[in-house]
Structure 1
């Protein structure tokens, strides 16, 4: 089948082809621009991700250093707290040491007065009392015990002392 193409039709086909080429060129240009924009966005996102990773590693390093410093500070605070507690105990002991006396009795009779229990134990060893033979005061009368140490503590008035161990009161006349 043969078809005849007129010059007008040929011009229209050439115009359509030219318009199609122009449209293809514009579409290609738009596609290239869109691709370029996507590549730029990809580079920007990649750069932000790398910056975030760098910042994360820096923050992680700073955090680990801060945690180490915190642990060291907590350890130092604990040691300081222990030292303060020990100093307070020493201060309390020093205050108590001046407020207590220890009376060494030999068969219930006063023998010597000491400022500390350790001094009393040491001195009684020179009198032949065994160093490990001490027991707490009990209800027995002092006259029945060879060596006995009685502790006295200072009360509010000057030179006022009372026994640190008070025996249980005995019932008077059968009363309970």
Structure 2
């Protein structure tokens, strides 16, 4: 699940290491765009078998807009409740999707994507967006990935909204 660049141990331990690295990388930087850009780059560098890693951010009360990411060009706007990202945002619940084409209302931004995990980002009780990671493989992401990414987003959230 991770490249061999210094991450060792169980999947949970690797996510713990990744989260600590994110925390150190963002320490003292107040710019949210820079922090989101570095977070997406970190995920893209260390997660294997993915084709997109990035963020959609709240724009108004009912729409997400594309934020910093790594990967091919993507959909720019997603209504709340539409697709995997919009559903995660509306429900404020992580979405773990083994087959995106089986997901009701899936929005195909990249035809190569087959599975997806989306984690809402909540800062001080307010939804600010979602972390979205796609893979060209069906069933790429596990419950352990979702839990590790939720921890990653928790660390990220403490560096946003200050």
TM-score (norm 1): 0.19
Larger % of strand: which?
Answer: 2
Structure of larger gyration radius = 1
**Structure 1 or 2: more helix by fraction:** 1
